[in-house]
Amino acid sequence: MEKAKAAIDRKNAVISIRGLKKSFEANEVLRGIDLDLYQGENLVVLGRSGTGKSVLIKIISGLLKPDEGEVKVFGQELTHITEKELQELRIRIGFSFQNSALYDSMTVRKNLEFPLVRNRKKLSRKEIDTAIETTLDAVGLLKAINQMPSELSGGQRKRIGIARTLILNPEIMLYDEPTAGLDPLTCIEINNLINEVQERYHTSSIIITHDLTCAKMTGDRVAMLLDGKFEREGSFDEVFNTDDERVKPFFDYNFIK
């Protein structure tokens, strides 16, 4: 289950964060985050519930504003860009939500068509159909094209959710707990899909997870959010080779020591 080496350009950070702070009234969630995501890299972000992992990816995708610090995405400082520039940037970032966020009243085809026609105005019918079919094929679910989301399993819904994001050819993928609620074999399939997406679409990704098998299978690097900062960062083994009582339980619980 070790991850194959990916082609990563460590001289090129697609996301670069320095001194990021974010509070909600008295609740100091992010207390000085420094983080780089390199071109072509899968970076896994771990941390206890409520440590601010979702807040972090919402800031990266422009859904929340930081209180302090610098957040650069493709070299653009998020707090200094116009609403129009932010919209253009957002198209380059795919957000795979924990609940897959599919439209339940639409077929799989329509679920993929919707973001495509909204964001790429000038496509012909044939181009739209080809994009839908190619993307469904990439996630291994072309056969589900005419099905409704309610007819799919949790793992299949997750794949369609990823396909709906991929159809816009994002350069960055943000996965929010991609394996949550799935059985172990389906988790492994989703982990493999995340790696296939990295290879095939040349994406750089942040993967938020509590699932250490997912972290090990998909992460080129792991960063652990502790008390509002990334205090442990490196390979999976580097991060977990510690007696830190804030870190050890993650490993012990996942691998039943």
Ligand X SMILES: Nc1ncnc2c1ncn2[C@@H]1O[C@H](COP(=O)(O)OP(=O)(O)OP(=O)(O)O)[C@@H](O)[C@H]1O
Which stretch in 48-56, 68-76, 107-115, 136-144 sits in contact with ligand X by CB under 6 A? 48-56
**Which CB atom, from 180 or from 188, has the smaller least distance to ligand X?**
180
In whole angstroms, how close is the CB of 64 to ligand X at the nearest point? 7
In whole angstroms, how close is the CB of 182 to ligand X at the nearest point? 16
**Which CB atom, from 99 or from 146, has the smaller least distance to ligand X?**
99
By rule CB under 6 A, what string of x and - marks binding of each residue 50-89 to ligand X? xxxxxx----------------------------------
Q: Which one among 39, 40, 46, 47 touches ligand X, defined by CB under 6 A?
A: 47
SS3 readout for the chain = CCCCCCCCEEEEEEEEEEEEEEEECCEEEEEEEEEEEEECCEEEEEECCCCCHHHHHHHHCCCCCCCEEEEEECCEEHHHCCHHHHHHHHHCEEEECCCCCCCCCCCHHHHHHHHHHHHCCCCCHHHHHHHHHHHHHHCCCHHHCCCCHHHCCHHHHHHHHHHHHHCCCCCEEEEECCCCCCCHHHHHHHHHHHHHHHHHHCCEEEEECCCHHHHHHHCCEEEEEECCEEEEEECHHHHHCCCCCCCHHHHHHHHCC
Told to check if 29 binds ligand X by CB under 6 A, we report yes
- Residue 170, classified by CB atoms within 10 Å of its CB into exposed (0-12), middle (13-18) or buried (19+), is buried
In whole angstroms, how close is the CB of 167 to ligand X at the nearest point? 26
**Which CB atom, from 43 or from 136, has the smaller least distance to ligand X?**
43
Which stretch in 45-53, 78-86, 145-153, 182-190 sits in contact with ligand X by CB under 6 A? 45-53
Number of residues in contact with ligand X under rule CB under 6 A: 11
**Which CB atom, from 24 or from 255, has the smaller least distance to ligand X?**
24
Cβ-based neighbour number of residue 127 at 10 Å: 12
Which stretch in 6-14, 49-57, 112-120, 150-158 sits in contact with ligand X by CB under 6 A? 49-57
State the Cα–Cα distance between residues 208 and 179, nearest whole angstrom. 10
**Which CB atom, from 54 or from 204, has the smaller least distance to ligand X?**
54
**Which CB atom, from 45 or from 193, has the smaller least distance to ligand X?**
45
Told to check if 181 binds ligand X by CB under 6 A, we report no
Which stretch in 24-32, 110-118, 134-142, 188-196 sits in contact with ligand X by CB under 6 A? 24-32
Which residues make up the interface to ligand X (CB under 6 A)? Answer: 24, 27, 29, 47, 49-55
